[in-house]
Every structure is written in structure tokens, then in C-alpha cells.
Structure 1
Amino acid sequence: MSKLAAAVLGTTLVLAACKPTGSSPSSDIPAAMNQAAATLLKSKLLHSTSIAVVYRGKEFILHRGELEAGKANTPNDTTLYEIGSISKTFAGLLLAQAVLDGQAALDDPIQKYLAASYHNLQSDGEPIRLRHLITHTSNMPGMLPLQVNTVLEDFTAHGTPAKLNAAYANYGQQQFWQDLHSVSIKGPLGKDYAYSSAGTELIAHTLEKIYGKPYEVLLAQFVAREAGMHETQMGVTAKDAHRLAPGYHSDNPVISTPMPRLPWGASGNLKSTMPDMAKYLRLQLGTNPAVVESHKPLVRFKDDFSIGYFWNIGQNRQLGTHYVHHGGVPRAQSYVFIVPKYQLGVFIITNQSGAMTADAMENALTHIFDTAQAMEGVQ
């Protein structure tokens, strides 16, 4: 899978560094959010954004632009967005809860939770364990079926969404189990970062085996109970279809189709509203035991880059230790940042997905980070 595809359907390996904006920071968060939106919408091809911020217990939500250019349809609090691979942080949270419940251990071999024998899920006699899957160090392929990885090598091609739809049109869990037999694991486990959505799908299956319920049900119950989130879901009903944000792939002016359903959906199929994502920010900034567990660094790749339960953990002078994940589907990209130093949580999304979208969001977010730093009086 290309670096771009990994960034879009996964996460950026280089955590967003706060780039200097060349202007003085705003004096308050809403003004900074307005600056962030204005900066983002100057980018070519981008014409709408929504931003949610939780700062020291206060919540702010902003919507700007048009979902469809020229139609004056600004997104709002009822808009359902495809949040892409940020979905993985939810799977990590549920696994953290399973560990706290004593129902799973990070060193459990994944084979413990599989109905059939998969002797191929090992390297040099070492089995793939849950900790390898949640830290992307299992050397599993990026996606199953394997041909999807080839499709994603040319992510920006206009035909990519249609090819993804075709690949997953009749691809369910049974086909996933068949293809899993063909996976070849090469290299040491637990060492090298190799982003894998297929590995995330195995975590969802593991949770189903542990709790005896479909992953989708487990997730809905957890976020409703722990965060009051009732608008975060895998699928979209016919009644709610009009709420799903339209989106654009690459430089194609034609509205793209939604991301196809994956076997479990844990790696990238969640949809949510901005009020629900604000609740998620609050949850991540709090003291929920599963959240605390999910933020533990499990593998350190560099002095300033570790990974926890699917969370990328960054370290820099401005933000201190922070937790970040990028999300992307062929028609939307997003970022979530959790910054305990400032009790700051930020979620930003735009309904376009192209080669420069992630960089544009990172640049826009500097307004918010600089403002928080100035308000905290941190030099």
C-alpha cells in the first residue's frame, strides 16, 4: 500500500508537527476555530469543514462552507460523517475494557480466538498476539482481500472508489476467513510498524468471541453507556440516508460513493455527528479506566512516537504527550487530537479526500494549538 493510501485509509506515521503560522494566536478558542476553518477552506478542492473542540470542560462546535459547492448546504449538528480509521480507536477502547475485565490479555495469541487453525499467523515460531495487532506490529497485510492493497497503490485515481466497491460487494466474514489462510507473515513481530486494517478486523472478531455479541452492538452499548453517544453507528438507515455527508474523492468533481462495508467495520466504517464526536473528546480527556488503559504506550518507535491501543502517541514541546489518529475514506478525511496538557480535544473533518487533504488539516489546526498554548501561558 502506498504512503498516501496508508495515510488516507489509515493514519499518518509522522505525527502532525505544529508548524508556525506566522501570525499571532487568537485570544479565544472560537476565534481560533474560525481561523482554522478559513485556512482550511482556502485549500484547493476543499469547500466545507466541521470542527469540534473541548477545552478545559467547555465544548465548541463549528460548521463552515458548503457540502456541495454552490448549494449553500452548510453541514450541521445532524450531519453524519464517515470518520474512517478513527474507528480503530474505538476498537482499541473496547479491547482495553476487555483487558480490564480480565477477559483478554495483550499477550494472548490471536489463534486463541479463532475457530479454525491458522498456522500461518506466526513468524519464526512466535504467534501473532493481541498486542501486535493493536500496535500495528503484526506484519499483517494492510487490507483483505489482498488485491485491495494493489488498488490503493494508486489511491488518487478516479476509478479507485469503484474498484473498492467491487472488491467488497460480496465480501463478508466468510471470505475474510478464507483469505486469512493465504496471509504470509514476514519479519519479527512487535518491532516494525506496518499499518493493518485487516488486523483491526481481527480485534473486532476477538471482542465478539469474548462477549458473545456482534461488534456493532458492543460498540453502540459501550459509547452510549460511557459517553452518552447515540449517533455513532456503522451503517446508515434509509431514514437517515439524507444526513450522510456527500463527499469528493481526489480532484473528481462528481460526488463519490460511501466507503464500502468491511467484514466487521471496526477498521473504518463508523459514522458520527459532531456533537457525538465532542462527547468522544470528553470521554478521551476523562478518567474512564478503559481510556486510561488505551492510552498506555505499548511500543516505542522513536523518542517522540509510540503507539498504544491503536492510538499514535506523540511528544513535542508545544503539546507535550498527545494522542492522535487520522481518518480517511475516499470521500472524507479527519483528525482527532487528545492533548491532556491543556485538557484539549480536537476533531476536524472535511468532505474531500485527496493527496494534500491531511496536510491542509494539520496546517489549519495550528491556529487552535497556538491559541491553547497562549491561553495557558506556556512558552
Structure 2
Amino acid sequence: MQATSMIVRNRRWFNCFALSAVLLSAGCTGKNVPAKNLGADIDEVAATLIEQPLLHSASIAVVYRGEEFIRHRGDMETGKPSPPTDATLYEIGSLSKTLTGTLIANAVLEHKLGLEDDVRQYLQGDYPNLQYKSEPLRIRHLLSHTSGLPNMLPERANTVLADFTDHRTPGELNAVYKGYGKTDFFNDLHTVEIGSAPGKEYAYSSAGTQLAAHILEVVYKRDYESLLRGFFRDVAGMSDIRIKMSEDEAARLAAGYHSDNVVPTTPMPELPWGASGNVKATTPDMLNYLKFQLAGGPVVTESHRPLVKFDSEFSIGYFWNIVSGDRLKDLYYAHHGGVPRSQCYIYIMPKYDLGIFVITNQSGDQTAHAMEAAIDTLVERIASREKLAEHEPPR
């Protein structure tokens, strides 16, 4: 699910944020001089982040050249002493897609499926609509958002999300997905029309991620959530990620605010499979995910492989946005996540052996800008520290 899909719909997201983050970071910190240690920098950035309008609380995880940091700031509910903790479960929104992409990369390496496979070989029934002329939708088209599938199924969800900041949006989204299951998804998939040759044009599609989760279930003969939890527990030590929650687990879910509404809003409705935006995770889980990404290895390397190169600076891997040529970050991998009551970012920057995860329990049209500014400030501090280290005389 990409509730804030208009923010991160295509490459212009990176271009406009490159400018806005520079402008905002000046206002966020006032200076980019590194503190004596990175922990102090993260403390400052986290404290400044929640001073931004409408932001209530934030959690940050950072892995930098083997060092690990977690910071929580603010109160999740206005007027109540309710700071987030390591046990807090957050809705990570479309960051869920990178988990799905990693599972697909593992399936490719295990020869369970191929990127060139026609997606219809994993579907029951006939889907003559899932092609353009004679060109079928292939698995690589799902991963690179070039399938031509709509953002959301059912289509009426896209109409609701078009006015994302309207106070009615969370309730209307809940109504759309009430009782909406896998059978409904496949019925709607039959009605989709592919308007151009797949593999060419970027069109963000959460529906494509849902279909990818179904394909994983078919090849592994296992439900998606158990596959997700088992894999990331074993390879990354992510012991607390989940899609569905028990009553006890739901009590740990972060309260969240939509737009400028002063009343906490409801969680994101459950989607079929949940692969596109229903994953919940703790900050320590996400720190372990950063470590897993930075460690590399065959699965991570495959998931970071560009599948479509749109221009010299922007590519798509296994749901990862890949940006090159950035003055500060160099080559990096990133994804935004957003639901009606939280937004987050993940950045993987090999140049600095650096991973950053930032999440806040508010979701509005300026939330992403504030988090981008915080991330840019941290990277500026790290870059300054490394530059100073280069010029220090040997001891």
C-alpha cells in the first residue's frame, strides 16, 4: 500500500526532495557541524524532527560502519506520556514492498521462478487481459512498477487516495476494504486493462506487489505471512515483524495521526496478502533489516540489481528505488512508506556503509519533507566527519 503515492510516484520524487531537503535541513538544525559522536547527532536530529508542525513522535535506527543506534523521541498521543519504545510496533507502509522484493530475489536464486515468467502461469483461470497485444505481464514488470497495473485494487481505492489529506480518507479507505479478500482481488484483476507495452513506463502499483505475494505462495506452497516471518527471522533476526496481530500485539501498535486531524486515526485496513503495505515492525527489527542490507550477500545483491534503468540516475530493482550520481549520497537504495497514520523512509548508502530508518506516527503532505531533511542532516554530519578524518595527521 502506498497511501501517499503521489509523493513518491516516480523519479521526480527524488529530484524535488534533493532540493527541498537541502533547504529544509538548514532550518532543521541551523548548522551541519558534526557533534563529538554520531549518537549525539542522532539525538539532535530526532529532537528537532518532532518540533516540526504536526509531528508527535519519531523513531530512528542507524547502522554506520558497524555501529548501531536507536533513538525514540516524543509522545505518541498528544497530552499523554506515551513515548515510543523498542517494543512499539509501527506500520511501515510500502517499505513492506522491499521485503516482498527480497523474497522474490531469494526465489529467483533458488530457481523457484524466473523474472521472465508470464505471471499468468501462477494464476488459476484465464486472464487474456494481462497482456498488451502479444506481450504478457512478467514478474520483472511487477517488481519494477512497469506492469501497467493500477496502483490499488479495487480501482475505487485510487479515487479515495487521490485526496489523501482529507479527514474522510481513512474512514472511506476502511469502507472500501471491509470484507475485501483474495477472491475479490482476482475478480478485479480480470477487469484490468493494460494500456501500453509492459516494461517501458513507470506506474507505481501496489496491486503488482500483491500479485507478487500470491506468486510466492504458489511456488513455496506456504501462506505469505509465514513465509515472510520465517525468512526474515532466520536471515536477519527480525523476530517481531508481522502482518496480522493478536489482541496483545495490537496493544503495542503505535497510535497515529492523519494529516492535521488532532484525533488519532484507525490503523491501515487489512489488504489481501498485506505485502504492499500491511507489515508491522519494531525499530530493532528495522535496525536488523539495515544490517542485513549492508552485509550484502547473494539475496541482497540480487534484490539490488537494476531491472529497469529509466535514465542515467534512476533505476528500479526488486521494488528498490536506485539512485546514482547524488553529490552527497553517491549511489543509494531507498524506499518511502506511508499509511494514513505513519510515514517512514529507509536509505541504504554503500559509500558510507550506512543505513538509516526513520518513522513518525503522523502522515500528511509535509511529513516526508521533514524526514528527508532529518536524513540529509545526518548524512551531511557523517560526510563532514569522514572528511575531517581524512585530513587528520597520523598519530
| TM-score, scaled relative to structure 2 | 0.92
Query: Who is 1:356 aligned against?
Result: 366
Residues of 1 paired with 2:104 and 2:90: CA distance?
24
- Provide the rounded CA distance (Å) in 1 between the counterparts of 2:269 and 2:368: 21
1:342 aligns with 2:352: yes
Indicate if the aligned counterparts of 1:11 and 1:327 stay in contact, CA closer than 8 A: no
Residues 308-327 of structure 1 aligned to structure 2 (within 5 Å) = 308-315=317-324, 316-327=326-337
Given the superposition, is the C-alpha separation of residues 60 and 339 from structure 1 closer, same or farther in structure 2, using an over 3 Å criterion? same
Counterpart of 1:19, as a letter, is: V
**Matching residue of 1:25:** 33
Q: In structure 2, how many angstroms separate the alpha carbons of the residues matched to 1:120 and 1:126?
A: 11
The match for 1:229 is 238
1:1-379 mapped onto 2 (5 Å cutoff): 4-7=4-7, 13-15=12-14, 16-17=17-18, 19=22, 21-22=25-26, 23-27=31-35, 28-315=37-324, 316-377=326-387
Q: Is the 8 A contact 1:6 1:12 kept in 2?
A: no
Q: CA deviation at 1:104?
A: 0.9
Q: Does the aligned pair in 1 maintain the 2:4–2:338 contact within 8 Å? A: no
CA distance in 2, matches of 1:363, 1:36: 9
Q: Is the 8 A contact 1:248 1:330 kept in 2?
A: yes
Distance 2:219 2:265 in 1: 37
CA contact (8 A) 1:171 1:262 kept: yes
Displacement of 1:189 = 1.2
- The alignment partner of 2:13 has SS state of coil
> What SS does the aligned partner of 1:6 have?
coil
- 3-state secondary structure, aligned to 1:345: strand
What CA distance in whole angstroms lies between the structure 1 residues aligned with 2:63 and 2:277? 24
CA contact (8 A) 1:25 1:32 kept: no
1:337–1:346 Cα contact (<8 Å) kept: yes
What do you get for the CA RMSD once the two structures are aligned? 1.8
What is the deviation of 1:302?
A: 2.2
TM-aligned CA deviation for residue 12 of structure 1: 7.5
Q: Deviations over 1:30-54 (max 9, x none)?
A: 1221222133222111021000000
| TM-fit CA distance, 1:298 | 1.1
Please state how far the C-alpha of 1:11 moved relative to its aligned partner: 7.8
Q: Deviations over 1:293-328 (max 9, x none)?
A: 000011111221111000000121211110000000
Partner Cα separation in structure 2 for residue 371 and residue 247 of structure 1: 30
Q: CA deviation at 1:212?
A: 0.3
Report which stretch shifted further, 133-142 or 12-21. Answer: 12-21
CA distance in 2, matches of 1:38, 1:137: 39
Give the paired residue count: 378
Distance in 1, Cα, partners of 2:182 & 2:247 = 24
SS of structure 1 residue aligned to 2:315: strand
CA distance in 2, matches of 1:202, 1:230: 25
Write the distance in 1 (CA, Å) between the matches of 2:140 and 2:162.
27
Unmatched runs of 5 consecutive residues or more in structure 1? none
**Contact map agreement 2:3 2:338 (CA 8 A) in 1:** no
CA distance in 2, matches of 1:291, 1:25: 33
CA distance in 1: counterparts of 2:55 and 2:199, whole angstroms: 38
How has the CA–CA distance of structure 1 residues 75 and 158 changed in structure 2, closer, same or farther, with 3 Å as cutoff?
same
Partners in 1 of 2:114 and 2:94 — Cα distance? Answer: 24
**Worse-superposed segment, 18-27 or 172-181:** 18-27
CA contact (8 A) 1:337 1:345 kept: yes
Percent identical pairs in the alignment equals 52
Which deviates more from structure 2 when the two are superposed, residues 368-377 or residues 134-143?
368-377
Rounded Cα–Cα distance in structure 2 between residues aligned with 1:216 and 1:29 = 36
Distance in 2 separating the partners of 1:373 and 1:2: 31
Between 1:19-28 and 1:199-208, the stretch displaced more is: 19-28
SS of 1:98 mapped into structure 2: helix
